[in-house]
Amino acid sequence: MLGQRGPEQYEFFAGSLRDLVPDDHVLVRVARVLDLSWLRAEVADLYCAENGRPGIDPEAALRLMLAGFLLGIVHDRRLMREAAVNIAIRWFSGYGLTERLPDHSSLTRIRQRWGEARFRRVFERTVQACVAAKVAKGEVVHVDASLIRADVSWEALAKCWVEKVGDENPVHEAERDSRKTGKYKKICTTDPDATMATSGRRQRLEPSYKQHTAVDDEAGVVVDVHVTTGEDNEGAELTPALERVEALTGVKVATATADSGYAYAKVYGELERRGTAAVIPPKAEPIRSPVPMRRFRYDARHDVLKCPYGKVLKAGRAVKHGRFFTSRARDCKGCDLRGLCLSAGRVNKAVVVGHDYPALLRARRRREKWSERDQELYCRHRWKVEGVHGEAKSWHGLARAVRRGLWNMRVQAYLAAAAINLKRLAAALLLLRSLFVRMPGNRAPFMIFVDASRLRAAET
């Protein structure tokens, strides 16, 4: 006989919500390694101890946010609608089946009250837990940057041109339309922190933020994350990122890998001075002249530059990133390359050499002799750190900014990175437990990064 169920079922549920959540659910696995007992003392100074209405429990609020990022639900309204019917989110955040959830606006006010620094602290705690569990070491670090589309519309973009400024500083009409002036590039009126940037020359500029990420080579743990405006150069963020990693892990970064977007002379020089091996492929030298720069030979010992015919160019006037090296007019007067080497109207050659140009030359020579380990590390860089960017954008809501403002974008990046690290830590715990379960009479010694009573409560 064909069965039939009624439209409504009234049941009295007695028990733990944990009994209704599968053991392999991501929130269950993360709950085994998540310890937020330190959070209340961290934010206690932001609340009044005697007056006012009792606020939302800090641990419950943060667990709600982390649950959203772990499940890819990063918008507060959608998260709270999902939490109302999702038993796993209710159990993970500590709310009962019939208990009233906070309003979505409460999460916004909590983020504003806590500020960027405390969410940075949440991320740092996950890194320290991974280091304590030997999931991350901090010796080999992969660094890369990725653009994140700002939460603005195209209608919010405007050209940075004000009539009053134009009247006070008249320019030629042809210059007004020129992109080289930099005065008339588009800006965003609703989110000024987002700047126009692109990841390729054939792609259009979009209002974006740029996330600079450092990933540990051991298990793909995110050991540093920093968000800037989209137009910031990633080369300037490499050394500060390594310094933050060393301060957090307590280990000297021995090797840093990056793509050719970091292949600047100043980057190679900074890494040499701090004693970090650089696995960064140098860029091919652009050829803008019939006599390119590679035809000139720099003598670091005597600080002189020699032309293809061996004539000496001496150091002269300093510029922002280097110095001018100029030849003597009589040396160029009878040279066979004069017509190709000198610009019209010039009587001598002038070349700008960067401050760390010798480091760039050494990097080019090392690139030709990369060992098998160097080749392997660079291959791992491509799927380690770029894989983290893809994971964060595909599964943890980092493909687009959720809120506006640089500090909001940084909070979003910190929570996404913390979610990824907690997944790595939970996977390591699961692997460790599976190894010791096969050995009778042994108990898995994984209590170094999670409280034992908390773990037993999660398992029951």
In this predicted structure, what is the pLDDT of residue 22? 93
In this predicted structure, what is the pLDDT of residue 176? 44
Q: Please count the other Cβ atoms lying within 10 Å of the Cβ belonging to residue 371.
A: 10
Domain 140-283+366-412 matching CATH 3.30.420: the answer reads yes
- Bridge-based pairing of strands 206-216 and 222-229 is antiparallel
In this predicted structure, what is the pLDDT of residue 5? 63
Q: For residue 159, give the amino acid letter.
A: K
Residue 450 reports pLDDT greater than 80 = no
Domain extent listing, the chain: 17-132+419-459, 140-283+366-412, 293-364
Own/partner contacts of 72-76, CB < 8 Å, gap of 24 or more, are 72/395, 72/396, 72/397, 73/397, 74/396, 74/397, 74/402, 74/412, 74/416, 75/402, 76/104, 76/105, 76/107, 76/108
Residue 238 reports pLDDT greater than 90 = yes
Between 413 and 176, residue with greater pLDDT: 413
Between 92 and 19, residue with greater pLDDT: 92
CA atoms 39, 45, 49, 54: torsion sign: negative
Residue 249, burial from CB neighbour count under 10 angstroms (0-12, 13-18, 19+) = buried
Between 212 and 50, residue with greater pLDDT: 212
Over residues 432-439, the mean pLDDT reads 56
Q: How many residues does the chain have?
A: 460
- pLDDT tens, position by position, 375-393: 999 999 988 999 999 999 9
In this predicted structure, what is the pLDDT of residue 88? 96
In this predicted structure, what is the pLDDT of residue 305? 87
Residue 3 reports pLDDT greater than 60 = yes
Over residues 50-68, the mean pLDDT reads 91
Over residues 55-64, the mean pLDDT reads 94
CA-to-CA distance for 256 and 242, rounded, in angstroms? 8
In this predicted structure, what is the pLDDT of residue 177? 46
Rounded to two decimals, the pTM is 0.84
- Among 56-60, 285-289, 314-318, which is the least confidently predicted range? 285-289
In this predicted structure, what is the pLDDT of residue 51? 82
In this predicted structure, what is the pLDDT of residue 352? 83
CA-to-CA distance for 116 and 389, rounded, in angstroms? 21
Residue 297 pLDDT class (50, 70, 90 cuts): confident
Over residues 156-183, the mean pLDDT reads 51
- pLDDT tens, position by position, 111-157: 999 999 999 999 999 999 999 999 999 999 999 999 999 988 877 77
pLDDT above 90: percentage of residues in the chain: 52
Residue 159 pLDDT class (50, 70, 90 cuts): low
Residue 459 reports pLDDT greater than 90 = no
Quote the longest CA-to-CA distance of the chain.
108
Between 285 and 116, residue with greater pLDDT: 116
In this predicted structure, what is the pLDDT of residue 281? 94
Are the CB atoms for 424 and 130 separated by under 8 Å? yes
In this predicted structure, what is the pLDDT of residue 108? 95
- Among 8-12, 116-120, 207-211, 414-418, which is the least confidently predicted range? 8-12
- Among 165-169, 250-254, 454-458, which is the least confidently predicted range? 454-458
Neighbouring residues of 306: CB distance < 8 A, sequence distance ≥ 6:
296, 297, 298, 299, 312, 313
Residue 455 reports pLDDT greater than 60 = no
Give whichever of 112-126, 342-356, 434-448 has the largest mean pLDDT. 112-126
Mean pLDDT of the residues in the chain: 84
Neighbouring residues of 327: CB distance < 8 A, sequence distance ≥ 6:
307, 311, 312, 313, 348, 349, 350
Two structure tokens written together for 243:
């310094």
Neighbouring residues of 297: CB distance < 8 A, sequence distance ≥ 6:
305, 306
- Among 14-18, 214-218, 311-315, 384-388, which is the least confidently predicted range? 14-18
- Among 131-140, 156-165, 200-209, which is the least confidently predicted range? 156-165
